[in-house]
Amino acid sequence: MTKSPTKDQILAALRGVKSPDLTDNIVSLGLVSEVVIQNGRVYFAISVDPARAGEFEELRKAAATVVEGLPGVESATVALTADREPGSARPTPVRGAAPGNGSGVPGSPAQGGFARPGAAREARHRPGGVPGVRHIIAVASGKGGVGKSTTAVNLALALKDRDLKVGILDADIYGPSMPRLLGLSGQPQQLAGNKLDPMRQYGLKVMSMGFLVDEDTPMIWRGPMVISALSQMLKDVAWGELDVLVVDMPPGTGDAQLTMAQQVPLAGAVIVSTPQDLALIDARKGLNMFKKVNVPVLGIVENMSTFLCPHCGGRSDIFGHGGAKAEAAKLGVPFLGEVPLTMSVRETSDDGKPILVSQPDSEVSSAYRDIAAMAWAEIQRTSSAAKQAPKIVVES
């Protein structure tokens, strides 16, 4: 099998692509997004003026044809993306792409693969569950830096310890954390039917964009490409039979959160916050967002609730204490528990050996197990309530 070309080789080929209306080639003008190469398939986007998207369709086709002509390239998926128009609320989605050779679209049921432009827009109109997955829960926060990913991975492990079959999806395209948190490297293998086989670690099935790009590589993708990648990490991965799929969401209340709410029936959301008022303001926004899209809020976790000194054993409320619990009571949602801040949490996370694995008998591990127990009880309760909801019949 011919080896796939490097990113530099692909960009060198794209330097030959130029429209008569452009002053230089698409690479020199900075119009090409981050290039992702996976099993001979190449994905990237071209940024265009939204008012002229139709005119750039031939440019997109030319770029796809040039890349597909390189040895080792099976297909090239190219999207046109655009900055949002003045006064619009979100980026302007531009026409999606198909491979220039007309052989089918990577990412479709017939082809598999990631990040097919337009896939997310189409999938919004085809909502449904992920085959084999009983419950999907989102672990979210209103802002970054509150320990959401660490909470997500230890929550997944604590659920696994309850004899549940658990997977974890890293939905943060721009800042994937799961490869580092779980000590994983390498790329997922492609299976029959063009599904991707998830990675495995500590009894979890795992998928992340971090397996497809280098850790130091910035993902310079706009909204449509991000949504497409997330859509296909959900539905084009062979998750198999899972009791729970934990989704580590990116911070905020943007496209990723809306995509999840629109495409799959979420069993609920876990909101992670630190105790101080600044973090709680953003946590409240995240919580209200899930309520607006009719996703049950399983509860709030107060992370870094208090600092445990490794030397004297003393406790210090660096970020305050009890703010998340008070907020949960105020908003009428469950308080799932609090997780102390310890040196061991940071050390084990950086080493790719989560504290539930490396120190299962620690106070922090016990806290995560209690949180998992409460979250699972809420999932069971809300699922049962949904099944028992009365049907409304309108007689003519």
Q: For residue 285, what are its two tokens?
A: 């926004």
Helices (H) and strands (E) in the chain, counts: 12, 13
SS3 239: coil
Non-local CB neighbours of 186 within 8 Å, separated by 6+ positions? 199, 211
Provide the pLDDT for residue 143.
62
From the list 106, 263, 132, the residue with the least C-alpha distance to 194 is 106
DSSP string, 337-396: EEEEE-HHHHHHHHTT--HHHH-TTSHHHHHHHHHHHHHHHHHHHHHHHHHTPPPP----
Please say whether the beta carbons of 83 and 74 come within 8 A: no
What pLDDT, on a 0 to 100 scale, did the predictor assign at position 181? 93
Domains in the chain, please, with CATH?
A: 7-106 (3.30.300.130), 133-387 (3.40.50.300)
Return the half-sphere exposure (C-beta side, CA atoms, 13 A cut-off) of residue 99: 23
Q: Spell out the residues 6+ positions from residue 165 whose beta carbon is closer than 8 angstroms to its own.
A: 240, 241, 242, 243, 244
Question: φ, ψ for residue 166 (rounded to 5)?
Answer: -130, 140
User: What's the pLDDT score for residue 56?
Assistant: 79
Structure tokens at 373: 């127990």
Which of the four pLDDT bands, split at 50, 70 and 90, describes residue 53? Answer: low
185-229: per-residue pLDDT in tens?
888 888 877 788 999 999 999 999 888 777 777 666 766 677 777
Sign of CA dihedral 65, 71, 76, 81: negative
- pLDDT tens readout for residues 108-129: 322 334 433 333 334 333 445 7
Between 103 and 210, whose confidence is greater? 210
Nearest to 306 by CA among 350, 347, 337, 351: 337
**Which residue type, as a one-letter code, is found at position 117?**
P
Q: Which residue has the higher pLDDT, 283 or 160?
A: 160
Percent of the chain residues past pLDDT 90, beyond the cut:
28
Q: Sheet containing 41-48: which strands, arranged edge to edge?
A: 36-38, 41-48, 75-82, 92-93
Dist CA 120 CA 194 (whole Å): 18
The answer to whether residues 137 and 249 touch, using CB atoms and an 8 Å cutoff, is no
Q: Which two tokens stand for residue 379?
A: 């999932």
- Report the alpha-carbon distance of residue 162 to residue 158 in Å, rounded: 7
Q: Which of 22, 287, 235 is nearest to 126 (CA)?
A: 235
Q: What is the pLDDT of residue 31?
A: 86
In this predicted structure, the answer to whether residue 102 has a pLDDT above a threshold of 60 is no
- Angle, in degrees to the nearest 10, between helices 57-68 and 7-14: 130
Checking if the pLDDT of 156 tops 70, the result is yes
203: left (phi over 0), alpha (psi -120 to 50) or beta: left
User: Comparing 201 with 140, which gets the higher pLDDT?
Assistant: 201
